[in-house]
């Protein structure tokens, strides 16, 4: 009799400034979804081949030179994190690993695929209401016939908002998956291949909402499916790689 394979391992990147409090929240959502979390951050070796799926978390602006944007002095950037996440997303694509981007992570997915950002959404969308809250006070429209619609259902969703940047030009192989009432992009997704989904909000803060938990369940399910299609590998990180797992 074959024994069931263990929980899929999901690598999670975070900000150096806030990772100590954000990683546990995302890790909890991964655990509730049936996965196991591994912390990827600057200063430790991290490779997409060591996990079954990837979550690129929020926090920090992305350096504008990655998409030929204008450098803004007020931006809070971390070039080392930019480089780490760019490489991990590229590796994940090459290896067929599913990816979830949260806020900044959605933007990084878009940039890796050749897209660009609005650096200040309130300059571009002058009528947009300024929001900065972890509570679900913004309504987003889920685009029909998308992967996100299959995951969350087709109805509008209530989400939080902790961003001042957003996707402007879509990257190659991506499509719009959700927008808000002002037309600001709120989710993007891959049109083919393994699940690659970026949401502009923070579902880890909305763990009490069934539809938000469904996002993590979809990632873990995709990671399990991708993993089970590969030859079984030994558990644990490769030699020389230090990991923090929950």
| Domain spans in the chain, listed from the N-terminal domain onward | 9-228
Q: Are 11 and 46 in contact (CB under 8 A)?
A: yes
Q: With 60 as the cut, is the pLDDT of residue 86 above it?
A: yes
Q: Which fold has domain 9-228?
A: Rossmann fold (3.40.50)
Query: Average pLDDT in the 153-163 region?
Result: 97
Helix 210-228 crosses helix 19-32 at what angle (to 10 degrees)? 80
pLDDT at 73: 54
pLDDT at 32: 97
At residue 5 the predicted structure's pLDDT band, cuts being 50, 70 and 90, is: low
Beta bridge partners of 99: 54, 196
pLDDT tens string 39-82: 998 988 899 999 999 999 998 899 898 998 776 656 688 999 99
pLDDT at 35: 98
Higher local confidence (pLDDT), 76 or 8 = 8
- Total residues found in the chain within this entry: 246
Residue 131 vs residues 104, 121, 135, 138, 196: alpha-carbon distances, Å: 16, 11, 10, 8, 26
Strand spans (E) along the chain: 9-13, 36-40, 53-56, 99-102, 117-118, 133-142, 157-161, 166-167, 174-180, 185-190, 196-199
pLDDT at 153: 97
**What amino acid positions are annotated as catalytic residues?**
103, 202, 204
Mean pLDDT over all residues of the chain?
90
pLDDT at 234: 41
Helix (H) or strand (E) holding 21: helix 19-32
C-alpha span between 231 and 37 (Å, rounded): 21
Q: With 80 as the cut, is the pLDDT of residue 217 above it?
A: yes
DSSP tag of 200: S
Q: Report how far apart the first and last C-alpha atoms of the chain are (Å, whole number).
A: 28
Lowest pLDDT segment from 51-55, 133-137, 205-209, 227-231: 227-231
């Amino acid at each position: 009799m074959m024994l069931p394979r263990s929980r899929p391992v999901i690598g999670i990147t975070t900000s150096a400034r806030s990772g100590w409090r954000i990683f546990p929240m995302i890790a909890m959502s991964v655990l509730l979804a049936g996965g196991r979390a591994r912390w990827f951050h600057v200063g430790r070796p991290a490779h997409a081949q060591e996990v079954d799926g990837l979550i690129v978390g929020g926090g920090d602006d992305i350096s504008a030179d990655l998409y030929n944007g204008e450098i803004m002095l007020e931006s809070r950037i971390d070039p080392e994190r930019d480089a780490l996440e760019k490489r991990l997303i590229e590796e994940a694509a090459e290896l067929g690993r599913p990816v979830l981007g949260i806020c900044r992570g959605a933007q990084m997915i878009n940039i890796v695929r050749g897209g660009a950002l609005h650096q200040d959404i309130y300059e571009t969308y002058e009528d947009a209401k300024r929001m900065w809250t972890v509570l679900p006070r913004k309504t987003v429209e889920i685009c029909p016939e998308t992967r996100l619609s299959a995951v969350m259902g087709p109805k509008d969703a209530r989400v939080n908002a902790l961003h001042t940047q957003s996707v402007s030009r879509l990257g190659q192989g991506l499509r719009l998956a959700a927008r808000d009432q002002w037309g600001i992009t709120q989710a993007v997704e891959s049109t083919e291949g393994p699940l690659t989904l970026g949401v502009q909000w923070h579902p880890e803060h909305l763990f009490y909402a069934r539809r938000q938990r469904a996002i993590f369940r979809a990632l873990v399910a995709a990671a399990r499916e991708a993993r089970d299609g590969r030859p079984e590998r030994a558990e644990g990180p490769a030699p020389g790689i230090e990991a923090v797992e929950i």
